[in-house]
Amino acid sequence: MNKDRVVQKEKYKFLVMAVLLAGACFLTYYYHVVLGRGTFFTHLFYIPIILAALWWKRKGIFVAVFLATILVASHLLIRSAGQIQINTNDYLRALMFIVVAVFTAYLSVTIVAKEKEVAAAAAAAAAAAASLERADELAKSEEELRKTSDYLNNLIHYASAPIIVWDPGLKITRFNTAFELLSGYKAEGVIGRDLNMLFPEESRDESLQEIRRALAGEYWESVEIPILRKDGEVRLALWNSANIFAEDGTTMLSTIAQGIDITERKRAEETIRRNQEHLRDLINIAAHELRHPATIFRGYANILLEHWDSLDEETIKDALLKIDSATDRLTRIVDQFLDTSRIEGGKMGLSCSGVSPMALINNVFAEAQVKGYDNKLNITPPPPIEHREIEVDGEKLKNVLGILLENAVSYSPEGSAIDIWFEQSDEGTVFHVADRGSGIPEDDRERVFERFYQVEDADHHSIPGIGLGLYIARSIMEAHGGWIRVEPREGGGSVFSFGVPNSPCSDSEKG
């Protein structure tokens, strides 16, 4: 479209030039040749000469040469005809045509060149201004990018959740403060190292398989992956991830993962699960244990009510003893539940005073006689010896001795020996209860002090008790700052021992 406009403009110029040249030639011919007058109209030749020089620059000089030639030719014709006297100034005027054309063309070229220079300078200035504006915009963009980068860096670095970044080659490239706390490593010590250093050997292959799934484009929403700490501890974390791609949208640059340490939550869940199992076992055992005395109560109560007049004194006495024994068993079960509740609630206080170890054993032995244990087993108390008093909670320590004695009675064959004795030294006082039962396997000697250890199958529970006695005994000894353990007895059976230090009960122990 611009080219057509230029062509059309050139046509107008040629048309105007043709009209001017024709008019100048005609007037010159008419006045010079026909009328024989002076050279006034030769001045009109300067109009097309100047226009041609302005329009076509150096090419416009040809118009001046053409007009000068016409002027000289017309003068020669006039001279040959002898019509007028030729003025030599007209030859100079013809030369002036060319001089004016050259000068005008030079000025036009110079002016155009200057205009181009000015336009170029203006364009350069505009370009420079645009460049400065772009540079300013770029600087602002870089500043915004820097601020965004700083914000993201600080967000990652100070985030409370562990964050880690790795490249497609499974090399660690980023490691925030929370991950340092999770793993125990400093960021500068792991950047550039293989990612598999963070996984425990037993679960490393499975963890790397999850990593490869992430690299293949799969996003983690909630994946549990264990982390191996520098100190060897394994922490379990719940992870989600995202892949970071280049501008082409297909080239993967890195993978970023954010985690939550759920180790304590898992432990709590496991504790809740175990407690639920314990509660279920407790209910089963309690139902079984409570049913036994309840059955005795009901059975003998019915016998006494229905046959009281026909029963002899010995039968009535035996029935009442059975009821008393069942009552004692029920009382022990209730007491164990209450003691366990106090222990779990941290409310088992101690009431300490000076107590004779021999007196403790004699009291327990006397209670065993009342319960009839001595009719079935050979329970031997120690002979009187020189001893010193110990500062303990006498009732609770007697309870420990009673639990161990009852445990020995429950697991010993009828007529076998049960020995009770104590020892004193500079470290403290140690009590022993030894039986001739089947003994306890080595792997289970620590577990016997756990709650409900006795329970293997609640539906076929055969040994009386709810599995809380030894747990209570250990808790009492720990409250005294003492200890309790079980060892095999030479010749068969077990020896339960517990010790209390010579130091008096502290305020914290007294509760």
Domains parsed from the chain with CATH numbers: 2-128 (no CATH), 160-261 (3.30.450.20), 270-510 (3.30.565.10)
Say what the pLDDT of residue 462 is: 47
* Whether the model pTM is above 0.95: no
Contacts 24+ apart (CB under 8 A), 229-235: 229/182, 229/183, 229/184, 230/183, 230/184, 230/185, 231/184, 233/184, 234/200, 235/182, 235/183, 235/261, 235/263
Element of type H or E holding 353: strand 353-355
The residue type found at 170 is: L
How far apart are alpha carbons 100 and 64 in whole angstroms?
8
CA nearest to 236, candidates 250, 221, 226, 244: 226
Say what the pLDDT of residue 483 is: 93
Say what the pLDDT of residue 73 is: 67
How far apart are alpha carbons 239 and 222 in whole angstroms?
5
The whole-chain average pLDDT of the chain stands at 77
- The percent of residues above 90 in pLDDT, for the chain, comes to 5
Say what the pLDDT of residue 511 is: 40
Give residue-wise pLDDT tens across range 349-377: 788 888 888 888 888 888 777 776 654 55
Q: In the chain, what is the greatest distance between 2 CA atoms, to the nearest angstrom?
A: 194
Give residue-wise pLDDT tens across range 467-491: 778 888 888 888 888 999 999 988 8
Say what the pLDDT of residue 42 is: 62
Residue 218: pLDDT band with limits 50, 70, 90: confident
User: If you average pLDDT over residues 229-254, what whole number do you get?
Assistant: 85
How far apart are alpha carbons 72 and 327 in whole angstroms?
159
How far apart are alpha carbons 219 and 209 in whole angstroms?
13
Give residue-wise pLDDT tens across range 378-391: 666 677 777 888 88
Residue 64: pLDDT band with limits 50, 70, 90: low
In the sheet that holds 252-261, the strands lie side by side as 172-175, 163-166, 252-261, 234-245, 223-228
Q: According to the per-residue pLDDT averaged within each range, which of 13-17, 45-49, 226-230 is highest? A: 226-230
Say what the pLDDT of residue 498 is: 94
Q: Which range is least confidently modeled, 21-25, 427-431, 433-437?
A: 21-25
- The percent of residues above 70 in pLDDT, for the chain, comes to 77
Q: Which residue has the higher pLDDT, 423 or 330?
A: 423
Say what the pLDDT of residue 510 is: 42
Q: Which range is least confidently modeled, 184-198, 299-313, 354-368?
A: 299-313
Inter-residue contact 480 to 500 (CB < 8 Å): yes
